[in-house]
Amino acid sequence: SSTAKILDGKALAEQIQTQLRQEIEQLQPQIGRPPGLAVVMVGDNPASAAYVRNKERSCAHVGIASLGKHLPSTTSQTELAELIQSLNQNETVDGILVQLPLPAGLDADSLLQTIAPEKDADGLHPINLGHLVRGEPGLRSCTPAGVMRLLEHEKIEIAGKHAVVVGRSILVGKPVALMLLEANATVTIAHSRSPNLAEITRSADILVAAVGRPQMITQDMVKPQAVVIDVGINRITDDSGKSRLVGDVDFENVRRVAEYITPVPGGIGPMTVAMLLENTVLSYKNRHQV
Ligand code: NDP
């Protein structure tokens, strides 16, 4: 029997990085400095530290200066807000992102609101989320933008299709649903209070899983020939006692029925980083009106 076509996010992300590197090479002499991205990390959550290292490596690869700060978990809300203010005012910083989650006791929402909206590389400031709701230009959140870019690159038809998004977080579920709506899909958002989840997902032409539950989307929940986008990144210990990353989709079985599927790792994860770099370059260009 046939199996689904794999949507190779890693390959597309590399292609985007190559284009960004060339664009930066061209712009830098004109602007007089490279683009700068400040990744603010607090504490030492190992998953966050790995994501931050990965983002900084990608910055170096395309020629974006990493101007990040790694702060101890004892950092106060006031100190963090002051750091954000100084990054807002720093002319060499084009993008600012706060790596989430923050240690207990720190309020991420109020901090995200102190980021200058034009430097909001993660697109999570209420102003940028508002632009998304209104269908206006603005910095878009990276993971949802990565999902859309991958679909567009593969020329997967969205208009008129039924898209089902499982998950409604501000980070992923809600913005990806809005972007699919903007692309003229008919959109359903399912979540932990949706009864008959399998019935809903089975009606999806495009299914986006952004839940954080390992392999919860099983083959019987997927319509034959559906496009399956797996945003989840979950660490599990498999039967042989080895630790590995899996998505929210039961990849090995779902690939037997889907037409397209994203792998984990190598799907939406690298696309997210590529969109972060792209947002930083967009802000660099906007701030210098080039
Ligand atoms: P959240 O925990 O913030 O949101 C999870 C969502 O899933 C919630 O809306 C929740 O519903 C819903 N949900 C939970 N259980 C069920 C269930 N049994 N049935 C249906 N819906 C359910 O997670 P995030 O959105 O931040 O992340 C989701 C996943 O994506 C995680 O695995 C995360 O690691 C990954 N991720 C990957 C990124 C990437 O770069 N690829 C970037 C960001 C996240 P309710 O609202 O009702 O509680």
Q: Could you please report the per-residue DSSP string of 152-181?
A: HHTT---TT-EEEEE---TTTHHHHHHHHH
Does residue 287 sit within a domain? no
- The protein residue whose alpha carbon is closest to atom 17 in ligand 1 is 192
Rounded Cα–Cα distance for residues 45 and 169 (Å) = 21
Does residue 125 sit within a domain? no
- The protein residue whose alpha carbon is closest to atom 47 in ligand 1 is 192
pLDDT reported for residue 2:
83
Whether residues 101 and 158 fall in one domain? no
H helices of the chain, in order, are: 9-31, 46-62, 77-89, 108-112, 126-134, 142-153, 173-182, 197-201, 251-254, 268-287
Whether residues 146 and 261 fall in one domain? yes
Whether residues 61 and 160 fall in one domain? no
Does residue 21 sit within a domain? no
Mutate to test the pocket of ligand 1, among 191, 213, 248 (most ligand atoms within 8 A of CB): 191
Whether residues 147 and 264 fall in one domain? yes
Average pLDDT of the chain to the nearest whole number: 97
241 is in an annotated binding site: no
Q: What is the pLDDT of residues 91-108, one digit of tens each?
A: 999 999 999 999 999 999
Does residue 161 sit within a domain? yes
167 is in an annotated binding site: yes
- Percent of the chain exceeding pLDDT 70 equals 100
pLDDT reported for residue 158:
98
Average pLDDT over residues 77-95: 98
> How many domains does the chain contain in total?
2
Whether residues 172 and 228 fall in one domain? yes
Q: What is the CATH number of the domain that holds 105?
A: 3.40.50.10860
Annotated active-site residue 289? The verdict is: no
Q: Which atom of ligand 1 is nearest to the CA of 193?
A: 47
More confident residue, 239 or 125: 125
Does residue 285 sit within a domain? no
Does residue 111 sit within a domain? yes
Give the active site residue among 55, 119, 161, 174: 55
pLDDT reported for residue 1:
61
**Per-residue pLDDT band at 74 (split at 50, 70, 90):** very high
Whether residues 233 and 163 fall in one domain? yes
- The protein residue whose alpha carbon is closest to atom 8 in ligand 1 is 167
Mutate to test the pocket of ligand 1, among 172, 194, 276 (most ligand atoms within 8 A of CB): 172
21 is in an annotated binding site: no
Q: What is the pLDDT of residues 148-172, one digit of tens each?
A: 999 999 999 999 999 999 999 999 9
Whether residues 96 and 146 fall in one domain? no
Does residue 88 sit within a domain? yes
Whether residues 263 and 171 fall in one domain? yes
Q: What is the pLDDT of residues 8-56, one digit of tens each?
A: 999 999 999 999 999 999 999 999 999 999 999 999 999 999 999 999 9
Q: Residue 101 belongs to what domain range?
A: 32-116
Q: What is the CATH number of the domain that holds 207?
A: 3.40.50.720
58 is in an annotated binding site: no
Does residue 50 sit within a domain? yes
